[in-house]
Structure 1
Amino acid sequence: MRPPRLLLTVFVIAICSARLWHTTVGDESSSELDVGRGHLKPFGFQRDPTETTEELDYVPHPVVFYEKYVKPHKPVVFRGAAKMSQAYHLWTEDYIRKEYGNLTVRLEGKSEGDSRVPRGEGGILGRDTLDHFMRNYQSMNAYVISQVPGPMEKDVAIPRCLLCGSFARGIQEVHLFMSAGGGRTLIHQDPYENVHCVFNGTKEWLLIDPKQSDLVYLSRDSLQEFGGYSEVNIDAVDLIKFPKIKDVKFSHVTMNKGDCIYMPSGYLHQVRSNGYMNSAVAIWFSFFTKTHQFDSSDCMVGDSTESLRSIDFKPMSQVDVLWKYDGYSDLNQGHMDIYVLRTVLLTSADEDGKIWLEPFTVHFLQVHDDEEVDDGDNDDVSDEVQFMREQFIHLLDPDGRGYVTVEEINSLTIDQLKTLLLTFDPTDVSNTVEFEYSHISFEEIINLTEKLLESGDKFLGEDFVKRYVNDIGGTAQKADEILSALGASRDEFVTKNMVQMNIEQAVEKFRLARVHDPTVEHMWFEHLLRHDEL
């Protein structure tokens, strides 16, 4: 069992004298003497790296990998392991455009924390074709963070350490990263175990043992989730606001083209990407708990020496990954872990080994809505939530007994667990083509029309489009759609009366759009903490 995840209460320490001095004295060298080394400098400048991360020039057998690294929650670098992937040898700008240019990938801002979602080909928010991206990525404030599109799977090798036992049955998803370099992450921890491999460029990793969680100022949400991030600005660390950062001990790892690193779930790290073209993949797989333990029964068949040799790298196209992406439609990225679902069910059993499904769904399958606080009365929740619960119960208990046994939960197949999960964990809105309806609030649109009407009783449609794109961060296509619902086009005027008559219809899709709700994840996390599973 791995060490329990340490929780953090974020303390923002206000030092009155330091704040007063900081506002009155502008000399940076004096500031550093008084506040500490590396004030307002990038994270990592506050002290020298004092920790080390083990490095291997080979990838171990899965059983060895589990015992030496996964079980003790210990990062390790596999030098040269990414050379087994065709991507290492083939991925150039021209090759990607020629072979995969028509595929669609997901975009984010180059720096984590950017509120603006980039627009790709056709102006679609958060999506782009690889052809358009590779032609423009050097000047775009965007990078690809997407599931690997299906046709590209043959170029990505899954390392031998993940090809048998519970590892092989728990590869959740494989993320593709592509950028022009210069991207950086916040200090964060991932919700899954991770093997990260670099095909182009380099990456600088700063690794922080999670026992130091109390020093990195994790966000409030991070205290309730399997992943999490620090509120510290990693480009300019404010040691007055975040003084404990200077005490963080870390190791520094440079990953070169062709290297891989194992990063345990919950292990804190911060990454900077470099190089003209930077490409990499992250292979996310399930973590283990007291209930969900590592099974190596199919790893050592016959003579153990021979079985060590027989496990080798395989293309992703030949490996069972739980959530894949075809490269064209909505992504399946970011689902909760099916094995965590099984663990939550098993740890909810009574002394007779029964999980009573109605109280289970009432407690765990909720949405965060002040008007839908569930006291056990089905009349208190929406039809959508009630339908979700009924689906979940029917899948587990088609005969209507009211419960399911521990033995039945343990016998559920991967496909059955995925179907159960999807009843309450649909595709994240950020992975859909219609993400814009969820990303932009209908209030922002209404407020924009009110501002445009402040100087008169009408405004030009073209002005609305420009403000919608530049001020709110939407796309011209959706702006035109809103204008049409208001009864105008770009070269026509929208009157105050048109807004009053048509605004509700114009913003209806934005008002009704689904938003990401982390309530279920928070409840799972708290439940597993209480049962000492993390």
Structure 2
Amino acid sequence: MAVFHVGKYNFVYFLSSYFTFLSFTACENIPGHLKPLGHHRKSLGGVTLLKEFPSPTDFYENYIAKSVPFIVKGVLENGQFPAYKLWTDQYLDKEYGSLFVDVEGGKKEDRNAQAYTMPMSKFLQIYNQSNVYMVHDVATEMKADITIPVSLQCGGLEKAIKSVIMWFSSGGTRSVLHNDGLDNINCLLDGNKDLIMFHKKYKPEIEADHFVHYGAYSSVDVEAVDMEKFPKLRDLPWYMANMTKGDCLFIPYQWYHQVYSHSGRNLAVNIWSNHLRWFDKTVCKESEDKLKPKSLKNTELKNDEESSLDDELRDMFLDALDELTNVNFEEFAVRIRLIAVNEIPDDALTKMFDIIDNDKNGMLTMGEFHTCDYDEMFEQIPDFESFFTNNDQDAVDDKNDQPDNNYYTKQPMRIEMEDDVSFLLNPKKSLEVTLNDENIQEETNDQIKNTVREEL
């Protein structure tokens, strides 16, 4: 009996080891398994390349509305973006050294990591010897050095600009795979960046596994993708965007992307704008071909308090209506009830419809959604907020369970000029990654084809 049991257990152990080996071998054979994001298949090609920024009408109709990314190659070399030439370390130290800037403590993005705020001069002293990464809203004093491209200067686009952010490091940074509920123009003042981009239509696949909805990012390890844990990524098509110094990239609303900055000084400015579903040609007062880049200091930005009500409510309604451009009451009622968390009475829906229906013709247009005064919703419908807000304890608990629940609210550690920051120095050198190896389509900026239109 003893011999039988020993043999039995040995046999069970053998089977267990054998199937473990088979499972490991099978994983090893999955393209891109435990390799950086983008190694799972060849890219579909590069994004559209342009020589100059499109006019506002062209930008809206062919890129925003159609959700098409592009790179304007070398556009900052034309001398119309002062920061491109001015923002050396010496200039930033002399002109803005006393300004406090927001800094992240890791080059591989971790939305739960400690953040810091320190003088610009302090950052400039340490960034080449540490893993700190500046992500900071451009200060008022710096706005004269930045211009708004002609693409954003009329049709309502000029009023949609929400924020302008400065990104600055010694390179080697990696973002999480994420998307933004905004349109994004990112201009590279120094360095090189590679972006892996997924069309927003792949939302079901990307958000199928371990997606953090509160922060709109995937928890996938972008340096070593576990294709067992993220099976929907195994054959997901993607586009490549290679940025070099002087380029500007348009990332459309809700496109998923992961950014890698190559080693060396890396400085970028991005302009985030609320996504418009409607372009008002009547407000373009002058010929669009005569527009020139406009200084940011002369551009009024909406802060979060000013824009939150109208922008969030408009986006909530338009997201519910999806691609509809003209909506009657019946369709409006069905779609809005689908996104409500509590029952909406017929009279409240009628009142919402009437507030938006400015010309009272019984049809809602995109123009009416964009020009509506949403304050009236709260004034005329007492229970309006309760229809779309779940205040029960379960909802609060669910929100608190999100891994990055305090990402947007936690306070950064303040560092003064004289403080010891040795704990931030001498980081482990990050692995250099290239998108041009044999497992990915061999492409250079000269070889990139404008294939994205056909693929989309």
Same fold, TM-score > 0.5, yes or no: yes
What TM-score bracket applies, with the shorter chain setting the length?
Answer: 0.5 to 0.7
Listed as ranges, the matches of 1:461-500 within 5 Å are: none
Q: 1:63 aligns with which of 14, 34, 57?
A: 57
Q: List per-residue Cα deviations over 1:257-278 (Å, max 9, x = no partner).
A: 1111111110111110124211
- Determine if the alignment matches structure 1 residue 163 to structure 2 residue 149: no
Q: 2:167 aligns with which of 177, 200, 208?
A: 177
User: Aligned to 2:92, what secondary structure does the other structure show?
Assistant: helix
Listed as ranges, the matches of 1:87-486 within 5 Å are: 87-108=83-104, 109-113=106-110, 115-118=112-115, 126-217=116-207, 228-289=216-277, 293-299=278-284, 301=286, 307-323=287-303, 336=308, 338-342=310-314, 350-352=349-351, 353=354, 355=377, 356-364=380-388, 369-370=393-394, 434-435=411-412
Which residue is 2:366 aligned to?
none
User: Aligned to 1:82, what secondary structure does the other structure show?
Assistant: helix
Q: List per-residue Cα deviations over 1:470-527 (Å, max 9, x = no partner).
A: 9xxxxxxxxxxxxxxxxxxxxxxxxxxxxxxxxxxxxxxxxxxxxxxxxxxxxxxxxx
Q: Are the counterparts in 2 of residues 215 and 247 from structure 1 also a CA contact under 8 Å? A: no
In structure 2, C-alpha distance between the alignment counterparts of 1:43 and 1:333, rounded to whole Å:
37
- Determine if the alignment matches structure 1 residue 82 to structure 2 residue 57: no
User: Aligned to 1:206, what secondary structure does the other structure show?
Assistant: strand
Q: Are the counterparts in 2 of residues 217 and 232 from structure 1 also a CA contact under 8 Å? A: no
Q: Go from structure 1 to structure 2 and tell me whether the alpha carbon gap of 1:256 and 1:337 turns closer, same or farther (over 3 Å shift).
A: farther
Which residue is 2:368 aligned to?
none
Q: Are the counterparts in 1 of residues 136 and 167 from structure 2 also a CA contact under 8 Å? A: yes
Q: Are the counterparts in 2 of residues 204 and 254 from structure 1 also a CA contact under 8 Å? A: yes
Q: Are the counterparts in 2 of residues 218 and 228 from structure 1 also a CA contact under 8 Å? A: no
In structure 2, C-alpha distance between the alignment counterparts of 1:219 and 1:154, rounded to whole Å:
44
Q: Go from structure 1 to structure 2 and tell me whether the alpha carbon gap of 1:429 and 1:151 turns closer, same or farther (over 3 Å shift).
A: farther
In structure 1, C-alpha distance between the alignment counterparts of 2:121 and 2:392, rounded to whole Å:
40
Identity of aligned residues (%): 29
Listed as ranges, the matches of 1:492-531 within 5 Å are: none
TM score, norm. by length of structure 2: 0.66
In structure 1, C-alpha distance between the alignment counterparts of 2:386 and 2:58, rounded to whole Å:
42
In structure 1, C-alpha distance between the alignment counterparts of 2:395 and 2:200, rounded to whole Å:
37
Gaps spanning 5+ residues in structure 1: where?
A: 1-18, 119-125, 302-306, 324-331, 374-427, 438-468, 471-534
Q: CA RMSD in A?
A: 3.4
Q: Go from structure 1 to structure 2 and tell me whether the alpha carbon gap of 1:370 and 1:141 turns closer, same or farther (over 3 Å shift).
A: same
In structure 1, C-alpha distance between the alignment counterparts of 2:276 and 2:154, rounded to whole Å:
15
In structure 2, C-alpha distance between the alignment counterparts of 1:97 and 1:22, rounded to whole Å:
60
Which residue is 1:419 aligned to?
none
Q: Go from structure 1 to structure 2 and tell me whether the alpha carbon gap of 1:229 and 1:430 turns closer, same or farther (over 3 Å shift).
A: closer
Q: Are the counterparts in 2 of residues 50 and 250 from structure 1 also a CA contact under 8 Å? A: yes
User: Aligned to 2:221, what secondary structure does the other structure show?
Assistant: coil
User: Aligned to 1:113, what secondary structure does the other structure show?
Assistant: coil
Q: Go from structure 1 to structure 2 and tell me whether the alpha carbon gap of 1:145 and 1:168 turns closer, same or farther (over 3 Å shift).
A: same
In structure 2, C-alpha distance between the alignment counterparts of 1:219 and 1:127, rounded to whole Å:
34
Q: Quick one: which amino acid aligns to residue 36 of structure 2? A: P
User: Aligned to 1:89, what secondary structure does the other structure show?
Assistant: helix
Which residue is 1:46 aligned to?
40
In structure 2, C-alpha distance between the alignment counterparts of 1:268 and 1:333, rounded to whole Å:
26
User: Aligned to 1:177, what secondary structure does the other structure show?
Assistant: strand
Q: Are the counterparts in 2 of residues 201 and 279 from structure 1 also a CA contact under 8 Å? A: yes
Q: Are the counterparts in 2 of residues 107 and 117 from structure 1 also a CA contact under 8 Å? A: no
In structure 2, C-alpha distance between the alignment counterparts of 1:116 and 1:272, rounded to whole Å:
19
In structure 1, C-alpha distance between the alignment counterparts of 2:217 and 2:141, rounded to whole Å:
32
Q: List per-residue Cα deviations over 1:44-92 (Å, max 9, x = no partner).
A: 1111112441110111110111111011111111112233311111111
